[in-house]
Structure 1
Amino acid sequence: MILYNLLRILLYFIISILAIFNKKLLIFFKSRLFQKMGNDSFLNSNKETILIHFSSVGEFNLTQELIEKILKDKKQKLILSVMTDTGFSAVNKKYYENKNIKIFYFALDDFFAIRKIYKKYKIKKTIVIETEIWPNLYYFASKNGELFIINGRLTEKKLKSYLKFKWIIKKVINYAKKIMVQSFPDKERYEKLGIDKNKIKVYKNLKYSIKYNKITEEQIKKYHETVIDKNKKVIVCGSTRPNEEKIWLEVFKQININNEYQLVLVPRHLERTSEIENIILENFSKDDYLLITQIEKDKSNYKIQNYKKIIIVDKMGVLTDFYQMADFVFVGGTLTDIGGHSILEPLYYGKKPIIGKYFQNIEEIVKYAKELGFIEIVENENEIIEYLKKSENIDTKTFFEKNNEIDKILKEIFG
């Protein structure tokens, strides 16, 4: 710990020099290391506090049900610690007016800032979502109370890098009272790090507890008037990565001979929009596709008669809208060796996800969905085409109810 904090001092010196020439860097560190902690109504009750730390919007989304249950059932005050700006904005939007919640940027594991927060707010339980290893946070969490890691995940790649520093990683993670991981392979990888196996328990992914938004009939009507042709079979490719659009465009070209289908491409990274347009133009004309932002700019020109064969969704936050209106859903990062993105959103809406063979990031969920016949794994264009000729409906309500283990996790924390 001493060596770690000495190295941080050296890092601060380097960053302070760089920040002179980089305003964004200066704002980033200033907002996290010099936050105000005034005497407010949150402190007046003199109650002990629970701190929940997560990094991003995604982790906040999968933690919301846990937060709500702690507030309602346990009647606890919460500090929510967030790393990213987008995550901080999302948390503020949801909980800004809640007097039982205090929202902080994560103090970048600064020894003095972390110590000040624990002393001031009487934090007795700390919950870390997934596996972010912060030595000072873990140290003060265990020193002042109990530390719990929830939804823990450890890939083979991460394990290899952690094993190089096993002596320190082992010590830091063992500060935790309990480590709740997503799968048995995750448990085995933690044990390889030398973590006390009695601390490690396996519970289902917190994503099973997410209550995804459902679009209204009015929203559906608007999409049908401007974007989605309800008289066609709609294929939605979500969170696509490089080369995946090319595969699906080739599939679409072969299967759409009688103009029965419509293809919606939702790239994982919007900055790839121009690249995707160029790929489309290799086999299709400019009149065959449109960006959703173009449609929204001038809705009057894109009424019913102007449906496009291909839609590129160059806008954040609407993927689940399209999943709900799809006849077929492909989840990206699986036809290329990325490891896959979440299949739970389409499953939540009763859609059977199509994925490729690269699903190592979502292995446990895929395994279970496969046992129930809730997923289609394909390896080439021919297999995709054969599946698109079918039509399947699945009922996943009990799937989510059975796998929501929030109450079991809370029991581990509160006894």
Structure 2
Amino acid sequence: MQTAFLIYNLLYLVALIFFLPLEYFKRPTFLRKRWIKEKFGFLEEKEQNLPKIWIHAVSVGEVIAVSRMIRELSEHYKIILSTITDTGQKVAQERFKDCNVKVVYMPFDISWAINRFLKYFSPVAIILTETELWPNLIRIASKTTPIILVNGRMSDKSFKGYYKIKFFIKHLLKKLSLICVQENSYKEKFITLGAEEEKIHVTGNMKFDIELKTINFPWENNIPHPVILAGSTHEPEEEIILNSFISLGINGTLIIAPRHPERFGEVETLINRKIAQSLTKIQFSKLSEIKSFFSPRTSALILLVDQMGILGSLYRICDIAVVGGSFIPHGGQNPLEPSYWKKPIICGPYMHNFPFIEEFIKEKACLMADKDSLMNVMRELVKNYELRQTIGNKAYQLFLNKSGATKKTLKLLKKFIP
């Protein structure tokens, strides 16, 4: 096992040397100094009055999923919340600005950076989310601190990759004190990889326990309906969705929210090109720059969401939700936020990151389409208000039925957190 760790550390360091300059310079200037310091474990923590729990949530989706758990724990502990992405940082800082939470970047998984991080904070427990298995972190911290995996999942792709190095993964999984997984199928995969069955509990998906803010947008009553919101889109989904919307030829609004902020400019260029090519008169605006509202002289409106952290609240104003990441082999993005607002959902054929979508489709709480049929499925919902209401209500009922994972997880955590 020592040889395996030596190989891992060597490969990690080689990758770090190669990618470090790229990762450093791709960040805005004002972030670089903090990013590089925290990634190497150079941190300062003045507040020592409460015991600390280190929670790691890689990006936006994971931060949102464990938000309720963080709020509950922050009432009794100082939470050190680490993320890897900049967008995860922004959302976490905004979401927990009134809580006892310090948001930092996850340190590199190198021994001295991990040791420095642990020395600064001395957490009484470490909570990892979903499939965040960092070998050096687990190896070092497990000697003195309980490490817990919550909202665990294991995609088929991850499982196949981990199975090839089962001898290594098995060693890591045995060091975890508790493993809380979303579904039975994930439990079986963890057991196959070497996790101890008695440590694994099926608690459900914490993403069902989301709480979304009601934001009243000043322009929401001035845009034409129906409103179709495409959330967390990836390239080339924007073009697929734009083509479908333009082909509908309706008086309505299409709101596009790209998954990654660095693509805002790219998507804006695409929208302008599509509008120029279309015979339909379409008004376009970015959400942050709306200066005039919908004009009766135009037949449709396209809005580009160029702000972070508001997508969940934006779903409230739509009539139809289209789930991004599902029309390409990405695996889909979170379909639960539109369900929270009782909105009918359209997803693409690639939703393997969210196995529960099969139940949604079976219960007719979601419609599935591919790039060729998307326009027809949109048209079906646009024309039928009753169908939209029925699908949205069914989605909301399933959402309610599957909630409660956070409560179950917190109950189990009490056994391991002093």
Alpha-carbon distance change, 273 to 303 in structure 1, aligned in 2, over 3 angstroms: closer
Residue identity in the other structure for 2:268: T
- Give the structure 1 partner of residue 383 of structure 2: 389
Is the contact between residue 290 and residue 308 of structure 1 (CA under 8 Å) also seen in structure 2? no
User: Which residue, 316, 321, 337 being the options, matches 1:324?
Assistant: 316
Counterpart selection for 1:361 from 346, 353, 356: 353
Asked if 2 retains the 8 angstrom alpha-carbon contact of 1:48 and 1:121, the reply is no
Number of the residue aligned with 1:233:
226
Cα shift at 1:279: 3.8
Q: Distance in 1 between matches of 2:98 and 2:228?
A: 40
Cα distance, 1:311 vs. partner?
0.3
User: 3-state DSSP class of the match of 1:335?
Assistant: coil
TM-score, structure 2 as length reference: 0.81
Does residue 62 of the first structure (1) align with residue 65 of the second (2)?
yes
Report what 2:286 is aligned to: 292
- What residue is the counterpart of 1:275 in the other structure? 270
CA contact (8 A) 2:58 2:84 kept: yes
For the 8 Å contact 1:291–1:314, the answer to whether it is kept is no
What displacement does 1:211 show? 0.9
1:375 and 1:22, CA in 2 relative to 1: closer, same or farther beyond 3 A?
closer
What do residues 101-136 of structure 1 show as CA deviations (whole Å, max 9, x unaligned)? 444332212212323443554433211011111112
Distance 2:118 2:23 in 1: 31
Query: Hey, what's the Cα distance between the residues in 2 that align with 1:375 and 1:224?
Result: 26
For 1:37, which of 44, 50, 55 is the aligned residue? 44
Distance 1:22 1:57, change over 3 A: closer
| Alpha-carbon distance between aligned partners in 2 of 1:92 and 1:387, rounded to the nearest angstrom | 37
- 3-state DSSP class of the match of 1:362? coil
Q: In structure 1, the residue corresponding to 2:354 is in which secondary structure?
A: helix
Residue from 214, 220, 224 that aligns with 2:221 = 224
Q: How far apart are the structure 1 equivalents of 2:117 and 2:321? A: 45
**Equivalent pair of 1:33/1:113 in contact (CA under 8 Å):** yes
DSSP 3-state at the match of 1:160 = helix
CA RMSD of superposed structures (Å)? 3.2
Deviation at 1:414, TM superposition (A): 0.8
Indicate the SS of the match to 1:215: coil
Gaps of 5+ in 2: 27-31
Label 1:389 to 1:213 Cα distance change in 2 as closer, same or farther (>3 A): same
Q: Any idea what the Cα deviations from partners look like across 1:33-65, whole Å, max 9, x if unmatched?
A: 141335x2x22x4x5432211222332222221
Moved more, 274-283 or 13-22: 13-22
Q: Residue 142 of structure 1 aligns with which residue?
A: 142
Matched positions, count: 394
Which residue pairs with 1:91 in the alignment?
Answer: 92
Counterpart for residue 79 of structure 1: 80
Tell me, yes or no, if the aligned pair for 1:53 and 1:80 is still in contact at 8 Å.
Answer: yes
Match of 1:350 in 2: 342
Partner of 1:104: 104
Task: Specify whether residues 311 and 118 from structure 1 end up closer, same or farther in structure 2 by C-alpha distance, changes over 3 A only.
Answer: same
- Please say if residues 212 and 313 of structure 2, whose CA atoms lie closer than 8 Å, have aligned partners that are also in contact: no
Shift of 1:187: 1.9
Q: Secondary structure at the match of 2:136?
A: helix
Q: Structure 1 residues 52 and 5, CA, compared in 2 at 3 Å: closer, same or farther? A: farther
The alignment partner of 1:284 has SS state of: coil
Percentage identity across paired residues of the two chains: 26
Distance apart, 1:235 and its partner CA:
2.1
Q: TM-score, normalised by structure 1?
A: 0.82
- How big is the shift at 1:400? 4.1
- Show the 5 A alignment for 1:191-206: 191-206=191-206
Counterparts in 2 of 1:360 and 1:36: CA distance versus 1, 3 Å? closer
- Cα distance 1:8–1:244, how it changes in 2: closer, same or farther (>3 A)? closer
Q: How many angstroms apart in 2 are the aligned matches of 1:15 and 1:400?
A: 41
* 1:251/1:103 CA distance change after superposition, 3 Å: closer
Matched residue type, 1:128 = L
- Which letter maps to 1:33? F
In 2: Cα distance, 1:210 partner to 1:336 partner? 26
Residues 1:8 and 2:9 aligned together:
yes
